[in-house]
Amino acid sequence: APQPPAAKTPAAPLSGLSGMKMAAVLSGPVNDAGWNANAYQALTEARDKYGLEIAYTEYVKVEDAAQVMRDYADAGFQIIMAHGNEYSDQISEVAREYPDLHFIQTNGSEAGIPNLYTVGFAIGEGGYLMGWLACKISQTGKVAFIIGEQYPAVQYQAQMVGQACADLGLQAKVLETYVGSWTDPTKTKELTKAALEQGVDVIILMADSGDSGAIEAVREAYAAGSTSLRIISWVKDKNHLAPEFVLGGWTEDVSREIDATLQLIAAGEPGGHFAFGLAEGVVYPNPMYGLVPAEVESEFNQLLQDYLQDPSIFPNLVVRRDL
């Protein structure tokens, strides 16, 4: 199985971070088992790794964010993070007010403020590689991408899924389907059932807390004899939820995203917009747990190696760093 590539170690010493205070502005609770939980995990990992002192505020409405960040700035925090695109204006404003402090925004796009690091994931690699895998292992020639809601980045990933299949000359049909909610496992289950009725046998699953519903639907069909069904999980490796058919899939690793950003800061790199991809080890494929034919797995690994050496081997894989 492929191991996620190790993050590149930066040249500059990291000692500068030790003892610094870092605070985060979050839109929801840290136990949402998703978006904010990831941020929370990133914070605690950074604390353990660099000896940071950390703090966070949950349920911050956009219009209050500036004030919350100012409060942290005034309380002596040197690194202030806003988790989410919605805080763009607020963090830009406060970053200008406190030029000596460092500001991090996930999913941001602002590039012109020297102490503001807007960071995101490179979009496209995941869709392309997982699309390749899905179409390759599908026996029925039908693959479904089950998504919570329609966002630009997600749509682009879906586009890349289809692109990969087409590029490989695979005749698989890719269904792009939306639950209409990130928090509705019941409906996700029904959507999955409907997809299975259509003969779909591989599902790329990106429905957040709806994921459990899709897994449940496949579990039932699997128990009824459809043992060739596979789910490719997304955002995190969810193999442990159903080891018999859930592949590790694709990870977008917030902890590594933050870590990479902290390293930029420690290295004295000026702010700007950064999108981390496969090369930086921030997004990566997970193990397949023997759920795909061995030859497919080794072909995948080979392609991955080749791509890391020379991205031009996939001319139609256009990585976007602006979404």
Partner 1 sequence: MLNDLLSIFASPEFYQAVLRMATPLLLAAMGGLVAERAGLVTFSMEGMMLMGAVGGVIGSHLTGSVWGGLLLAVIFGMLAGLTYAVMAVSIGAHQIVTCVALNMGAMGLTSVLFGLVFGGGSGAVVQDVIQVASLSPWKIPLLGEIPILGPIFFNHIPLVYLAFLTVPAVWFLLYRTTWGLKIRAVGEHPHAADALGISVVRVRYLTLLFAGAFAGLAGAFLSIGVLNTWQENMTSGRGFIAYTAIVFGKWQPLGVLLGALLFGLADALQLRVQTMNIAIPYQAMVAFPYVVTLLALILFSGKASWPAASGQAFKREGK
Applying CB under 8 A, the residues found at the interface with partner 1 are: 23, 29-33, 37, 40, 55, 57-64, 67-68, 71-72, 75, 85-86, 88-89, 109, 144, 150-152, 155, 173, 175, 177-178, 180-181, 183-187, 189-191, 193-195, 197-198, 200, 209-213, 216, 238, 240-241, 322-323
C-alpha distance from residue 68 to each of 25, 64, 75, 95, 103 (Å): 8, 6, 11, 13, 13
Q: State how far the Cα of 38 lies from the Cα of 44, in Å rounded to an integer.
A: 10
Closer Cβ to partner 1, 49 or 193, answer by number? 193
Reported in sequence order, the residue ranges of 138-296 that DSSP labels E, i.e. its strands, are 142-147, 173-178, 202-206, 230-235, 246-252, 272-276, 283-285
Closer Cβ to partner 1, 54 or 265, answer by number? 54
Closer Cβ to partner 1, 175 or 303, answer by number? 175
Closer Cβ to partner 1, 198 or 226, answer by number? 198
CB of 12: closest distance to partner 1 in angstroms? 31
C-alpha R_g of the chain:
20
Closer Cβ to partner 1, 1 or 55, answer by number? 55
Q: State how far the Cα of 295 lies from the Cα of 184, in Å rounded to an integer.
A: 36
CB of 47: closest distance to partner 1 in angstroms? 15
Instruction: List for the chain the helix, strand, coil content (%; round to 5).
Output: 45, 20, 35
CB of 110: closest distance to partner 1 in angstroms? 9
CB of 303: closest distance to partner 1 in angstroms? 28
- 243 token code pair: 């080891």
CB of 26: closest distance to partner 1 in angstroms? 10
CB of 191: closest distance to partner 1 in angstroms? 5
Q: State how far the Cα of 247 lies from the Cα of 310, in Å rounded to an integer.
A: 26
Closer Cβ to partner 1, 200 or 262, answer by number? 200
CB of 147: closest distance to partner 1 in angstroms? 10
Q: State how far the Cα of 56 lies from the Cα of 197, in Å rounded to an integer.
A: 45
DSSP state of 123: B
Query: CB of 51 within 8 A of CB of 262?
Result: no
Pick from 178, 161, 175: nearest CA to 316:
161
- 137 token code pair: 């292992």
Closer Cβ to partner 1, 102 or 236, answer by number? 236
